[in-house]
Chains A and B, each alone.
Chain A
């Protein structure tokens, strides 16, 4: 049976034995990966993990079950289990219904046959090239860990309102984490990667850039505490935004009165040069696809335009509660236990968050900072306060900027502040963007950030 037929079968089974509404969702795929460890290729794996999640709802009582065995017999058993789980549950007074049938548009550059043709031998070769180009930069740098990975992902969803959608996607990732040692110094981990949905590997670039970071992080000099302008890399910005602003634009957090932004739609919350969209339809986006993880079409949703808050992201449940439409932001997985997507019910998650770039070149950005810091990555962002937007993080690695030039690396330094204050102090945005996690952004200059040093 095809995946969509299995989904239909599951929905039928759940309905036949008494569920008022039912949904079946298949996700997962095959991943071939080669791991680099301490400058060597040590492990190669070929893992297929795909499963079905079934929701069964009767009178607002929600049941959920999943299986990692996609046979007709097992799917029927799982549907029965979901119905049994629903009977054991209690009525949710807020429940309305599962999503209705929709039309879907095809998203460009999310699937490439050439990625499927990458064999384990070819992935080993990518890793050799990553290690090789890393070694050419600086002998003091160690290719600590990383690798090459190709993945072929599938998705199918059907529900009792006639939703039926199938999608597939590919991704190719080369990555390397380096560190360097000298007589007196050990650098923090320095990470570089290249991820693409279409076949576009560049292992040499990954190896070289990761090595350059560690090499440049070895030259440690004095840090100064106080208020300074800071150049934030998309790596650092992604970490800080995800645990502060992005938490507060989730529709469930807003509805539950936990978002500082709940009354602020239409009001200015950031500098005028700031525009941010969630776009699940972006060609080649790492989180792009036809439909979200409950069968609602992905879309482009404005969050901030010209500094003004435009709205929030929703899944079906929380959108209906607010008498709105889902923005196609249902995700699955995680839930604190790092479970695969088919093992959890949907929850609101961002897709590709695109921060509109500016026009500044790299040199112009550093010159703008003049006397401050360049922060590549931060450590401890997940300990931020998602409700207030307060963050205090260690900066690893980071460099001192003096007289408009990058001088030396710094260690044992933190930055602390509030994201809504930071958003109002973005002075300059770079013209080049890249995707790190969900965020697609340029480097940005923030004025007057609190730097804490020994």
Chain B
């Protein structure tokens, strides 16, 4: 279905934007006059399409529009936050007043006032670079692609019994205006596909998940439905014959599907400067050696195909490539303007908000291990007994550096060769120990599209080459 849209001339749109800009500037100026050190309006118009397919039946087709604005104000050294579902001057002012009141309430007891690192306020208009805009694809095509995934999963193996698919395309037109004079119109688009597939055989059950995404609908050209179906169904079939791994510390190869999660969970979260400052295991460790010299890890906004590619973050800071670990040395953290000022560093463009309902937090973008020069065979060589960890199910980090990664597909390694599949299992380690155990990096590279939860959900990517680690804790029997 094509929803009918009123098409306006470019000149009309430009006039409307000028009007909106005037409104925002008026509201922001009023806040400054009433004692705000800094004020920001982040307005969004969102168009979302969601389709769920449950065992071949369409659960619902969702078509939704949302409008809203987030108002964030710094006054008396503290933040105030409020939202509104209307972009009229009256409602924006009301909401701004509420945010100002909140800032003043929080500011009463502040010992160390919040300061913001200086950035040059920019005016810019940013379009997403995509080949196929999801809004130009009709619902029927979208449904057909999902039904093909369902059909291909069932066809792959008779033992596959159940398929759940969640599809979403989310489009946001965001306008960010600050009291410092920034005015950025930025388009964001995400096309996301998730499947959960279950198989059964002789009372044995196994399942696997698959998650993929891009900024445009060309996703399904690069990842055709049949390819997605085969990738996830293959894991289910293997898991049905898998045996329980041995618990304890083992040598392992971490595959390209998992390595990014390791970068994200084992290092990324505790490199988010708000968490580092909250006493994470990396507090006070800048410029120190925390990993094997073969390890280089970065978080970049510039990898265009990644889910975390952004030109500006939600504080109007230009996105960049931030190196976190360079040859084993901790060289950088991910900042917003507040933590950058606190630590005397530069903001890195990591401040991101799920939507207009919430303020931006320090979030990862595309977090990756750098490539090495080992072939997969060379990584396998010399492993007497260990595990090849192929695909992940989820991960979680703790401030003390404890991380866990759920593995949904893994194989034994026996005398340098891949052996039997093993049942899904959790692995765990500690950043400061595990990164020292990386002794070789492969030359292939994989990138995974996913979501990260830190109170808010955020699209982010992670990736890297296969890695060999001397030991990692496997939660088996």
Contact = CB atoms under 8 A, between A and B. Distances in A.
Interface of A: 34, 37-38, 40-49, 55, 61-69, 81-82, 84-90, 92-94, 120-121, 124, 128, 142, 144-145, 179, 181, 186-189, 225, 252, 256-258, 260, 335-338, 340, 343-345, 379-380, 382-388, 390-394, 396, 411-412, 414-416, 450, 452, 454
B356 to A, nearest CB: 9
Interface in B434-477: 451, 453, 456-457, 473-477
A88 B398 contact: no
B57 A43 contact: no
B207 A387 contact: yes
B424 A189 contact: no
B389 to A, nearest CB: 12
A124 B109 contact: yes
Nearest to A34: B106
B99 interface: yes
Query: What 10 pairs across the A-B complex have the smallest Cβ distances?
Result: A383-B406, A392-B475, A380-B404, A338-B457, A392-B426, A45-B81, A88-B1, A44-B106, A44-B102, A43-B79
Nearest to B398: A188
B58 A62 contact: yes
A394 B78 contact: no
Interface string B56-72: 01111111111110000
A66 B161 contact: no
Contacts of B398: 188-189, 379, 394, 396
7 contacts: A41-B110, A90-B143, A121-B108, A124-B106, A345-B59, A345-B62, A416-B476
B151 interface: no
Contact of A379 (B81, B82, B404): B404
Interface string B254-278: 0000000000000000000010011
B61 to A, nearest CB: 4
Contacts of B456: 338
Nearest to A394: B428
A45 to B, nearest CB: 4
A454 B198 contact: no
A47 B207 contact: no
Interface in B155-174: 161-162, 166, 168, 170
A387 B59 contact: no
A64 B62 contact: yes
A45 B109 contact: no
A44 B79 contact: yes
A225 to B, nearest CB: 7
Contacts of A343: 48, 62, 64
B55 A256 contact: yes
Contacts, number: 280
B105 A383 contact: no
B3 A337 contact: no
Interface string B20-42: 00000000000000000000000
A140 to B, nearest CB: 10
B428 A414 contact: yes
Interface string B313-327: 000000000000000
B57 to A, nearest CB: 4
Contact of B473 (A82, A181, A414): A414
Contact of B406 (A46, A85, A380, A412): A380
B248 A189 contact: no
A382 B396 contact: yes
Interface in B395-438: 395-396, 398-402, 404-406, 423-426, 428-430, 433
A411 B140 contact: no
Contacts of B405: 380, 383
B294 interface: no
Given A69-B85, A338-B354, A380-B406, A62 B60 contact: yes
B98 interface: yes
B289 interface: no
B281 A186 contact: yes
Given A46-B98, A47-B82, A257-B161, A187 B66 contact: no
A145 B278 contact: yes
A94 B82 contact: no
Interface string B167-184: 010100000000000000
